Amino acid sequence: MKIKRLNGLKGTISVPGDKSISHRSIMLGSIAEGTTEVHNFLQGADCLSSIACFRQMGIDIENNGDIVRIHGQGLHGLKRPENTLDTGNSGTTTRLMSGILAGQNFDCTINGDISIQSRPMRRIMTPLSLMGASIESIRSNDCAPLKITGQKLHGIHYDSPVSSAQVKSAILLAGLYADGETSVTEPVLSRNHTELMLGACGGDVHSQGTTATLRPVKRLESQKIIVPGDISSAAYFMAAGLIVPDSEIYIENVGINPTRDGMVKVCQAMGGNISLENVRDVCGEPVADMVVRHSSLHGTVVEGDIIPTLIDELPIIAVMAAFAEGQTIIRDAAELKVKESDRIAVMAENLSAMGVDITPTADGMIVNGGGAPHGARIQSHLDHRIAMSFAVAALASDGETEIIGSDCVNISYPTFYQDLFKLAE
């Protein structure tokens, strides 16, 4: 993909459904009683991996592109898969599904692509083992492939060393199969979609501060789920609207759950002209429309409790920092190293190639903005968030940018390039 500078992005955009909520709709729908109907399901490769895995366990899932219907078989209705469950590129599928598999009455193996095979799984293996699960890293490297032999589980209280919704959710989902109460305390509150969605389908779940507590129930009920637009996908349009001169973009139907909305706060802290309209509730999740106008940005510090609320947006925040006056410091974000790529190293490599003054640190990066980034050959490292971030950077840079491995946007946003270039017509 080759991209040149553009001016004046204008128009209305509706980003696809939230990835986190789409995954959870498949998992909870599969173990609920009755048919779960999902509207605005994200048809990205990651969520299709979740569908494929639960189909392999005997769940009938109809996907007509507009509406996904999951014919749930109840908490104990999954069947032993004949083959390895393939989670593709999806950390969310791998970790959340492991929690469910830990409590089944069968054994199975799960594995994913080369990136998944290097992402840390010890973070779920430890708490699930404390619950009585049998979960083994087949290559003894704490990564997938994982062999999981379902067991009778017991409830635990777990003090998680990381603020990770995937860890928290794996434990809570296993807790559905435990003989007592399960609770998780995390250092900083991470996204709470699992708690909200479990509550909506009849789960007994309570949150207080950074602790979520679940008691097992006999059954979960199916739901109609309307998935809000993904703020992590909207983030590229927020950034594009702010850094591309003469732009004004209206982004419709964006989920603004307070455990996910750090990007809006950072845009505003950098001087971005971004406002929320029509704030409403859709299926228990807050949703808004956004108006974004080109702005002169200045540097900021992104650290502490806000980090989990924008963890996937840090690559595009680093791009905004490159176009802002002054210094931006990102810290407390060591988690970036264990995503689809090492997002600290890859942002440093690629922004440097564009002539940006960036220093990677152990838990983030320091970007000195105000230069004039120029086009370059960008390696996506097959990380969708990296490809999308540099497509936006390219629009405001001199010359031409080539993104190698640009197709990986398919993971979370298959129509990304069409949607972006439509705003320039």
Ligand X SMILES: C=C(OP(=O)(O)O)C(=O)O
**Footprint of ligand S3P on this chain (CB under 6 A)?**
20, 91-92, 164-166, 169, 190-191, 311-312, 335
Closest to ligand X by CB, 222 or 233: 233
| 66 assigned binding-site residue | no
Among residues 312, 322, 350, 360, which is the contact residue for ligand X, using CB under 6 A? 312
Query: Is residue 205 within 8 Å of residue 183, measured between CB atoms?
Result: no
**Tokens representing residue 185 in the block:** 């305390």
Rounded distance between C-alpha atoms, residue 240 and residue 12, angstroms: 13
Closest to ligand X by CB, 285 or 312: 312
Q: Does 92 bind ligand X (CB under 6 A)?
A: yes
Burial class (CB in 10 A: 0-12, 13-18, 19+), 388: buried
Rounded distance between C-alpha atoms, residue 159 and residue 175, angstroms: 15
Count of other CB atoms within 10 angstroms of residue 307: 23
Among residues 90, 151, 328, 401, which is the contact residue for ligand X, using CB under 6 A? 90
| Contact partner at residue 397 from ligand S3P, ligand X, none, CB < 5 to 8 Å by partner kind | none
Closest to ligand X by CB, 91 or 255: 91
Closest to ligand X by CB, 186 or 340: 340
For residue 161, say if its preceding peptide bond is cis, omega within 30 degrees of 0: no
| 140 assigned binding-site residue | no
Catalytic residue among 230, 261, 312, 383: 312
Helices and strands in the chain, H and E counts: 12, 23
CA-nearest of 173, 118, 166 to 150 is 173
Which residue of this chain has its Cβ atom nearest to ligand X in the complex? 91
Active site residue 142: no
Q: How far is the CB of 123 from ligand S3P (least distance, A)?
A: 8
Rounded distance between C-alpha atoms, residue 96 and residue 19, angstroms: 13
Site string for ligand X, 270-309 (x = CB under 6 A): ----------------------------------------
Count of other CB atoms within 10 angstroms of residue 295: 18
**At which residue do the structure tokens 């639960």 appear?**
54
Segment interacting with ligand X, rule: CB under 6 A, options 31-39, 73-81, 87-95, 282-290: 87-95
Q: Which residues are catalytic?
A: 312
Feature table: binding site for 3-phosphoshikimate: 19-20, 24, 164, 166, 312, 339
